[in-house]
Structure 1
Amino acid sequence: MLKLQGTGVALITPFKENKSIDFPGLEKLIEHVIIGGVDYLVVAGTTAESATLTKNEKKEVLDACIKYNAGRLPIVYGLGGNNTHAILDDIKDTDFSQIDAVLSVSPFYNKPTQAGIIAHYRAIADNCPVPVILYNVPGRTMSNVSFQSTIQLSHHANIIGMKEASGDLSQCMRIAARMPDDFLLISGDDILTPSMRVIGGKGVISVLANAYPEIFKTICHGNLKESKEAAFKLLDINPLMYEESNPVGLKFLMKELGICGDTVRLPLLPASQSLRERIKQLKL
Structure 2
Amino acid sequence: MTVPAPLTGVIPPVCTPLTPDREVDVPSLVRLVDHLVTGGVDALFVLGTTSEAAYLTDAQRRQVVETVVGHVGGQLPVLAGAIDMSTPRVLDHVRAVTAAGAEAVVATAPFYSRTHPAEIARHYRLLADRSPVPVFAYDIPATVHTKLPADVVLRLAADKVIAGLKDSSGDLAGFRTVVTGARADSALTGFTTLTGSELIIDSALALGADGAVPGLANVDPAGYVRLDRLCRAGDWDRARAEQERLCALFDMIAVGDPARMGTGSSALGAFKAALHLRGIIDCAATAEPQVPLSEAEVERVGKYLAAAGLL
The alignment status of 1:255 with 2:265, answered yes or no, reads no
| Contact kept? 1:42, 1:75, Cα under 8 Å | yes
Structure 2 residue aligned with 1:108 = 111
3-state SS of paired residue (1:118): helix
Q: How do 1:1-284 and structure 2 match up within 5 A?
A: 1-2=4-5, 4-96=7-99, 98-179=101-182, 180-222=188-230, 223-224=233-234, 225=236, 226-241=238-253, 244-245=263-264, 246-260=267-281, 261-273=283-295, 275-283=297-305, 284=308
Distance verdict in 2 for CA 1:62–1:94, change over 3 Å: closer
The answer to whether the 8 A contact 2:6-2:190 is kept is no
CA RMSD of aligned residues (A): 1.8
Alpha-carbon distance, 1:158 to partner: 4.0
Instruction: Read off the aligned partner of 1:257 and give its amino acid letter.
Output: R
Contact kept? 2:65, 2:102, Cα under 8 Å: no
Moved more, 26-35 or 40-49: 40-49
2:65–2:101 contact (8 Å) kept in structure 1: no
Stretches of structure 2 that go unaligned for 5 or more consecutive residues are 183-187, 257-262
For 1:164-205, what per-residue CA distance to the aligned partner results, in whole angstroms no more than 9, with x for missing partners?
A: 111111101111221223211101101111111111101111
How far residue 35 of structure 1 moved from its aligned partner, in angstroms, is: 0.5
Q: TM-score, length-normalised on structure 1?
A: 0.94
Q: Distance in 2 between matches of 1:266 and 1:98?
A: 27
State the secondary structure of the residue aligned to 1:258: coil
Aligned-partner Cα distance in 1 for 2:217–2:285 = 19
State the Cα distance separating 1:82 from its structure 2 match. Answer: 1.6
Distance 1:159 1:271, change over 3 A: same
Structure-2-length-normalised TM-score:
0.86
Percent identity for Structure 1 against Structure 2:
26
**Is this contact kept in 1: 2:86–2:111, CA < 8 A?**
no
Helix, strand or coil for the counterpart of 2:248? coil
Bigger shift: 12-21 or 222-231? Answer: 222-231
AA in 2 matched with 1:255:
H
CA–CA separation in structure 2 for the residues paired with 1:162 and 1:241: 25
Moved more, 260-269 or 102-111: 102-111
Question: What amino acid does structure 1 have at the position aligned with 2:195?
Answer: S
2 CA distance for matches of 1:116 and 1:152? Answer: 14
Shift of 1:274: 5.2
Return 5+ residue gaps in structure 1 as ranges.
Answer: none
- For 2:95 and 2:302, the matched residues in 1 are separated by 44
Q: Deviations over 1:232-281 (max 9, x none)?
A: 11112314336631422111111111111210111212124554243222
Label 1:93 to 1:64 Cα distance change in 2 as closer, same or farther (>3 A).
closer
Shift of 1:55: 0.9
Distance change in 2, residues 1:176/1:103 (3 Å): same
Deviation (angstroms), 1:96? 4.5
Q: d(CA) in 1 for partners of 2:115 and 2:161?
A: 22
Count of residues in correspondence between the two structures: 284
- Whether the 8 Å contact between 2:198 and 2:247 is mirrored in structure 1 is no
In structure 2, give the amino acid aligned to 1:198. Answer: A
